[in-house]
Amino acid sequence: MKKAIIIGASSGIGKELAVILSRNDYIVGLAGRRVQLLLELQQELKNQSYIKQIDVSDPGPAMLLLQELIDEMGGMDLIVISAGQGYINPELEWQPEFETVKVNVLGFMAMANVAMQYFVRQGQGHIVGISSLAAIRGSAGGPAYAASKAFVSNYLEGLRFQAQKSGLDIVVTDIQPGLVDTAMAKGEGLFWVAPVEKAAGQIFQVIRKRKKHGYVTKRWRLIAWLVRIMPDRFCHNL
């Protein structure tokens, strides 16, 4: 059986992906801050699973704990880095900006670094990062969040180029969701909010097809195109 680790498995997309992967014959490693939620999720899973408390906002210990989890599972074939933080913060209060960068930039990079180095030694593997459609443009409402997700997408692209250059069978996938019905979907007047089950199902299909990129849900591909070409004066409300 293949082995997958999900960083940020306690809720949202990560939690639902754990259920889907277990249902599709994966042994799953569940990582997150909230152990009780991971234990509850473990009871829902069809196949064997492992739990590791990892707080990605503290990158040094998180890297060691991820390696411990890989060793306890006897290896991994797939990692999904789904842990994320975000705030609507037009006032630029420092603490929310700082917390967003700690989790979405430093925490993400720490997990991706361990995974990439492991897969290079192994000669194959699959890294999936959950970025966001917010990565495409800056955001007046959430400057740090949009910038952090742009970092995620660009870092994943850099890892993909490294993998291609090495000739190893390492797949790197950038998932850019639009609005999904999780705690991360904040604000008023939201539209096209996808159920988390639907979003996770589409992400799993992208993983199965070993694609380098996926919009979730698929209809957000059109919005992504429009946002890219939109004049700056229309982006003030993003």
- Structural domain boundaries of the chain? 2-234
The model carries a pTM of: 0.90
Residues 160-212: tens digit of each pLDDT = 999 999 999 999 999 999 876 665 544 444 556 778 899 999 999 999 999 99
Q: Is residue 26 flagged as an active site residue?
A: no
Selecting among 26, 50, 118, 145, the annotated active-site residue is 145
Q: Which residue has the higher pLDDT, 61 or 187?
A: 61
pLDDT tens digits for range 109-154: 999 999 999 999 999 999 999 999 888 888 888 999 999 999 999 9
CB atoms within 10 A of CB 78: 22
Averaged pLDDT, 16-38: 97
Domain covering 2-234 in this structure, CATH number: 3.40.50.720
